[in-house]
Each structure stands twice: as structure tokens, then as C-alpha cells.
Structure 1
């Protein structure tokens, strides 16, 4: 990889943004870390950024030539704020954009699918990362992880459907290559882990790794939608989208694996057990 200009990482304190920024910095490239609070990131230039505050956009973009885009969380129509930002980015000299989307959302589909569709017309160098669901959903701040810690259980409407969960570290590794390699992918990239698992399988692995019982509760799509809106405070339109994604899993939409992580990074993706062992291990004692 040859040195790039400055890479703007939107969502630099988030699950993939923080990991992507760290990997780009480790490879010797400059990073501008954008977050709502402008939180400092070792080795990076911190800048305050809010999708819904255009006054923060130019300061984040000026002097950057590549950008990693994490859509605003929970917004059922992110294109409304993202497309004007991307047009401004092009005007200010950004030449490569890498968008975080989802394996469940095709080009031109709902939510971020509209941004995916527009990206090739805005930039000559681009990529859309379409990862499967994150392994960190069971260990981080996601609703699944929270309910597992509180009750030893989590719920889906996925039935016996399988998902090839992917490690956020692997997503970040692909993002870093897509942002800094001499040639941009100029395509969408579906990222998965090495094996497709049911959520009963996930519960079994978490039970074995943590030594504490973890149960998967099977709910209907309507029950999941209600749970998301009433218990988790998710806006109804976005809750309906998430519940429909569970239904898609139940009928087999995510029962696939790809070799994209291996092709882009030169190493195979991590399996769920390995990631769970890493992220649930107790922290070492302070020296």
C-alpha cells in the first residue's frame, strides 16, 4: 500500500469505525476520527461530526481524500442526510468512499440501499461493504448482548434460519484495504464468517464459552417488532425493518458464506467461537 492522504472515518468510536481507524493508523496512514463528541483517538485527528448538523460537515471533510461511511444509526431513510454530504465531499476533493451497508440490504433496497445505488455515480473510486450480522452483537452494546448479560437469554424471529456472523475486526480489515489499497474495489463486497449458524447454535456456543447458560427464545415477527419498539425504544419504522430482516433469515436469506475476507486480507475470517472467547475473556489484572 502506498501512502494515502487523510482518511476520514465517520463513526470512529463505533464498532467498525474504531477498528477501521486503528488498522489504518497501524498501516501508517493519516486518520481524521469523526464522532458526535469529537472523542480523541490515539494517533488520529479528532473532529466533531453529526450527520444531522451540516455545520460540522465541512470541517470534517476539508483536507481528506477518502472517507469511511457509517450511516446514522436507526434512521430508516439515511439517504436524506447522506447524499447531500457525499455531494459536498466530492466538491471538497474526496475521491474514494467506502460505505458500510448490510448483506441484507441490496443496491437500491431500503434504508442504506439508496446510498449504495448512488455511490458509483458520485465517486470514481468506491466500495460498499455488505457484512452479515456482527458477532459483537452478542458481546457489545447490542440488545442481544444486553439481554444475555441481564437475563441469560436473547430473542429472535429467525426460527431455524442460519446466519454466517462476521467478526467486526474482519470487517475493519476489509475496510482498511478498500480505503488504502492503490486500486479501489469499485463493487459491493458481501462479508461473512466461515460458517452459517442457527441462533440455537449461537446460544450453545455462548453457553460453552462463558460457562453460563444462554437461551435463544423463538418469537414471531410481530412479537419481535413489539419487543423492539416497547422494550428497546426503537422507532416503529426501523423496528419493522429489523423484524422483517429476522423473517428473511428464517426463510434462508443469510444462509451463505463468502471468501471475501480471505481474498481481501489474505487470511480466513474468524469463527464465532474464537471471537466469543476473545471478547468474553476476563481482562488481565493491572500491573
Structure 2
């Protein structure tokens, strides 16, 4: 990795991967503009106001920037409608490298951010698309799984015994830093996982062993899970999330990759190690 005078715009700089990416970049001596709707201060970075849905914030955020880390607008079923005009503006403003956060569940040309993924190589000569599996943080932060664990010691899914290569957001950020700062951009998409594929039964067992509180995975049918989620989010989003659970049940996420090790030079964090660290921090 080479430290340069380049400036990186990190969108979603207060979010799960954005905050970690901004922190790792600044710790390595890189210049960062930390973008959020309220220009929240981030240590070592220049805070800047940025709202995907407010184009008047875009030009100032891009001023002096030559690379961007892109977190799609949350909850937007058609992010390309907003992101592609921004990326065209970014290219015109001098940005030459873009790293996009997508998902292992969404291929190039697929729905939602898959459309942005497909367009990225034609917009920038240097690019990467990060496609992480499900976050380990889903069991400890504000995600529905974390809330149900805190509320009733239960994880509710329609994943059956399907396994997932859960990945630590810190490892995602480490790969993002390399993709943004290495002399040669990856110019490909990168599927990111942890070092093991675990079922939600396995996750419940590890949480029970590490924390001492008995956590259970409750297996729901597709319809039961969709109805449960519909009480929390719009019906079409509930159906999409339940479809993802069904894909997991059918083995779509039962894989591991060496991407974290290959790009960062260190092994991806295990879920047990992640949870032990989080438990120490909160204890």
C-alpha cells in the first residue's frame, strides 16, 4: 500500500463500514472527506455534508476528491437513479477511482445496486465492487437480529440449516482501504466472507457460549417470516428480505473466500473472536 496525497470521499462515513473505512484510511495517513447528512466529525477526517437525495450537497463533497467509497442510499430499491448521475458528476470533477459496497447476494446487473455495479467499469478506469456476505455486526448492533437477541434471546429466520460466511465489518473496511489506495485497483468484484460458514443454529450456540445467555434460533416458514417482517418494514421490502433467507436455506451463501487474507495479508476474523471482542468492549 502506498500513502499518497490523494483524497478519498467516504460516503456513509458514520455507518457500519463507512466509519471503519474512514478510520483505517486516516490511521494510515490518507486524506479523507467524511460524508454524512450532518457532517458528523470523524477523527482525522474532514467532515462534509452529503445526502444522496439532495444533489445540492454533491459538488462540495466532491471538491478536491480523486477517489470515492460508495455506500448506496439505505432502503432505496432503485439506487441507480440517484447514484449514476452522481458518479457521472464525480468523473467530471476528477474522480478516477470508485469502490462500491454491494452484497454477495446481488450479482453484477442484478437488482438494486447490481445496476450500479454493472455501470461502474464504464465510468471509471479504476474500480472495485465489494460484495460481502452478511455482517457479524447484525448480531450486536441495531439490526433486527441484535434487537431480538436483546429482547427475547431469539434469532428468527427462514434460513433453516443454511450456512453463511458471516464477515466482520472491520475486515470489509480493511479490504476497502486496499481497494482505494493500492497502486493498482482491483478492477473486479470481490466476494468477502469470514473464514467459516455458519448456520444460525451455530451462531446461537456461539453467542450462548461466549455471553452466557441462552440464545435460540427459531426456524420459521417463508410465510411466517414474511409476515413477521411485514409488521416492521414495507411489504415489498419484507418479501425481499424473506427471499434472501430462502436463498440462504437453499445454499446460496454457503461459501468462503480468501479475499480478506489475500488483500490484507491477515486472516479474516472468526465469529467467536469477533463476539469475544465485542463482549469485552461492552462489559
Residue of structure 2 equivalent to 1:271: 270
For structure 2, which runs of at least 5 residues remain unmatched after alignment?
none
Secondary structure of the structure 2 residue equivalent to 1:216? strand
Query: Residues 82-97 of structure 1 correspond to what in structure 2 (within 5 A)?
Result: 82-97=83-98
Query: Residues 6-45 of structure 1 correspond to what in structure 2 (within 5 A)?
Result: 6-45=7-46
For structure 1, which runs of at least 5 residues remain unmatched after alignment?
none
Query: Residues 24-173 of structure 1 correspond to what in structure 2 (within 5 A)?
Result: 24-173=25-174
Q: Does 1:238 align with 2:233?
A: no
In 2, Cα distance between equivalents of 1:82 and 1:184 = 21
Residue of structure 1 equivalent to 2:246: 247
RMSD, aligned α-carbons: 1.0
Query: Residues 204-219 of structure 1 correspond to what in structure 2 (within 5 A)?
Result: 204-219=205-220
In 1, Cα distance between equivalents of 2:5 and 2:176 = 14
Contact 2:230 2:238 in 1 (8 A): yes
Contact 1:50 1:56 in 2 (8 A): yes
Contact 2:153 2:214 in 1 (8 A): yes
Contact 1:6 1:30 in 2 (8 A): yes
Secondary structure of the structure 1 residue equivalent to 2:78? coil
Q: CA deviation at 1:203?
A: 0.3
In 2, Cα distance between equivalents of 1:211 and 1:99 = 38
Q: CA deviation at 1:66?
A: 0.5
In 1, Cα distance between equivalents of 2:124 and 2:238 = 32
In 2, Cα distance between equivalents of 1:133 and 1:115 = 20
Secondary structure of the structure 1 residue equivalent to 2:82? helix
Superposed CA deviations along residues 179-234 of structure 1, whole A, max 9, x for unmatched, are 0111100000000000001100000000111100111111122222222221x2x2
Q: CA deviation at 1:282?
A: 4.6
In 2, Cα distance between equivalents of 1:34 and 1:237 = 29
In 1, Cα distance between equivalents of 2:156 and 2:257 = 26
Q: CA deviation at 1:100?
A: 0.3
In 2, Cα distance between equivalents of 1:237 and 1:81 = 20
Secondary structure of the structure 2 residue equivalent to 1:129? strand
Contact 1:75 1:238 in 2 (8 A): no
Secondary structure of the structure 1 residue equivalent to 2:128? strand
Q: Does 1:2 align with 2:3?
A: yes
Secondary structure of the structure 1 residue equivalent to 2:66? strand
Q: CA deviation at 1:281?
A: 2.1
Q: TM-score, normalised on structure 1?
A: 0.96
Secondary structure of the structure 2 residue equivalent to 1:183? coil
Count of aligned pairs: 282
Q: TM-score, normalised on structure 2?
A: 0.97
